[in-house]
């Protein structure tokens, strides 16, 4: 152990640790969940420390040698090194001061090492005075959330969604001529093509919502410091910071119009989570449909065949379950739960600050990561391999009394309804009953009940 001091007194710290006394106190104070922040968030925070060091040396506030050492330390963290040096629980004191100081201390001690100084020599490089220069937890923590979430969405979630969308579109085209029984209220309805049904599984609208929310994440209130006024910062600090942040992140972040709104609220974070909730709702519905359509396969609906990816039972030999849709559905449940947590966080701020950033950060980034990962595997291991069960589809189509709806313009609603009831009562198909009763000629019947006319309402019916 080594002894360091903070404003509350002396603290014993593991000798091999790069973090310092504030981090150690947080580790001792908050042994709550054992869950630490995702590397994407730590990486984004290191980008902030790096960009601040470059901006501050250009403004004349930071010694170039110290800045260079800080930049090098941050580069190591961005690359994934020192990952075990961020032990603070996601459930911690509000705002995220413990995590901000965790970054400050690790960067300071690694920078000291780079300058051939001993860890804890805070007179040479100080976590607060040097690494945290022109910053407060109150602006940097939320900015780190925005940066991490935007990068994860653009580099992981959007590509995963795009590939899922392409896979569904390919299936819609592949199944465009396969007619099947439609269902409303879980009951038989007029026919659709399997391709039309799959076209409804598009996530194009949800992608637009997510991209719009991601654009809002680009707006940072960096330099607002404690309450948005910019106390202890430089007026020229934000543009210099943002220029360097673009260099290191590859994304064009920009200055928020109103520091005070951003410090008091979590607007872009809540908006992004809401978009993820909308996506989750769509995906749950789609996965439920796939599970139902593939159910059975002998005593269920069994209209489609999902790829078998693993045995489905430890006791029933040969059983195969819809494992991939099940996994994605659970991820979506979690994302909706995370959105509820973020909703509570967003409304929970008071006066000049919303203090609930830590758990909001964890929930948002977890949702983005798990949705991205699950979409990739569901697309690859399920969607692309779906096959139609043509015999079952044809059987259901022929025995669906609701195709009689196409006869209403010719026979009238009431008469057609009686035909449906009689067909069901006698176990006959509509086609058989109409021919028996000589209500239409075979040519008229074939035209009215042709698969193309049933699934393309733009074709007129001659009366």
Q: φ and ψ at 416, to 5 degrees?
A: -65, -40
Residue written as tokens 């609701």? 402
Distance CA 287, CA 325 (A): 5
Instruction: Note if 313 is an active site residue.
Output: yes
Q: For residue 374, what are the CA distances in angstroms to 105, 109, 260, 331?
A: 35, 38, 37, 7
Return the SS3 of 408. Answer: helix
Which has the closest alpha carbon to 268: 388, 389, 165, 142?
142
Structure tokens, 34: 């054992």
Paired with 188 in beta bridges are 183
Distance CA 45, CA 37 (A): 11
Catalytic residue among 5, 12, 33, 313: 313
> Residues 89, 93, 121, 50: is their CA dihedral positive or negative?
positive
Distance of CA 444 to the CA centre of its chain: 52
Structure tokens, 322: 């819809």
Greatest C-alpha distance within the chain: 101
Distance CA 390, CA 179 (A): 9
Q: How many helices (H) and strands (E) does the chain have?
A: 19, 8
Structure tokens, 152: 């994860």
Q: Beta-carbon neighbour count of residue 232 at 10 Å?
A: 13
The answer to whether residues 312 and 321 touch, using CB atoms and an 8 Å cutoff, is yes
Return the SS3 of 412. Answer: coil
Angle between helices 39-58 and 237-249 (to 10 degrees): 130
Structure tokens, 334: 């979690």
| Residues belonging to the active site | 313
């Amino acid at each position: 152990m080594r002894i360091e001091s903070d404003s509350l007194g002396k603290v014993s710290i593991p000798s091999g640790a790069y973090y310092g006394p504030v981090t150690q106190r947080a580790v001792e104070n908050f042994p709550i969940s054992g869950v630490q922040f995702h590397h994407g968030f730590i990486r984004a925070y290191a980008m902030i420390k790096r960009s601040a060091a470059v901006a501050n040396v250009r403004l004349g506030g930071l010694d170039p040698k110290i800045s260079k050492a800080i930049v090098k330390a941050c580069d190591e963290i961005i690359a994934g090194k020192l990952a075990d040096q961020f032990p603070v629980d996601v459930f911690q004191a509000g705002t995220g001061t413990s995590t901000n100081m965790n970054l400050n201390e690790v960067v300071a001690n690694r920078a000291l090492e780079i300058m051939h100084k001993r860890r804890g020599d805070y007179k040479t490089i100080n976590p607060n005075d040097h690494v945290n220069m022109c910053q407060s937890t109150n602006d940097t923590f939320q900015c780190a959330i925005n940066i991490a979430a935007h990068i994860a969405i653009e580099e992981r979630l959007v590509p995963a969604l795009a590939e899922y969308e392409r896979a569904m579109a390919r299936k819609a085209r592949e199944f465009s001529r396969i007619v099947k029984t439609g269902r409303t209220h879980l009951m038989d309805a007029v026919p659709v093509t399997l391709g039309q049904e799959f076209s409804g599984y598009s996530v194009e609208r949800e992608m637009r919502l997510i991209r719009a929310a991601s654009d809002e994440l680009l707006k940072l209130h960096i330099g607002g410091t404690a309450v948005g006024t910019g106390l202890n910062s430089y007026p020229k600090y934000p543009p210099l910071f943002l220029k360097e942040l673009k260099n290191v992140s590859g994304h064009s972040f920009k200055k928020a119009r109103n520091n005070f709104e951003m410090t008091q609220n979590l607007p872009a974070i809540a908006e992004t989570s809401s978009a993820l909730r909308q996506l989750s709702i769509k995906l749950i519905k789609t996965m439920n449909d796939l599970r139902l359509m593939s159910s059975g396969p002998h005593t269920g609906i069994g209209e489609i065949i999902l790829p078998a990816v693993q045995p489905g039972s430890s006791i029933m030999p040969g059983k195969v379950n819809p494992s991939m849709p099940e996994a994605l559905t659970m991820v979506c449940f979690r994302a909706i739960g995370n959105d509820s947590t973020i909703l509570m966080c967003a409304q929970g701020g008071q006066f000049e600050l919303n203090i609930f950033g830590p758990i909001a950060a964890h929930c948002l980034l977890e949702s983005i990561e798990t949705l991205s990962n699950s979409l990739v595997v569901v697309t690859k291991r399920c969607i692309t391999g779906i096959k139609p069960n043509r015999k079952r589809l044809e059987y259901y189509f022929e025995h669906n009394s609701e195709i009689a709806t196409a006869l209403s313009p010719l026979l009238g609603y009431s008469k057609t309804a009686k035909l449906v009831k009689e067909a069901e009562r006698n176990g006959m198909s509509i086609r058989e009953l109409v021919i028996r009763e000589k209500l239409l000629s075979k040519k008229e019947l074939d035209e009215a009940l042709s698969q193309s006319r049933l699934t393309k309402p733009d074709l007129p019916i001659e009366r």
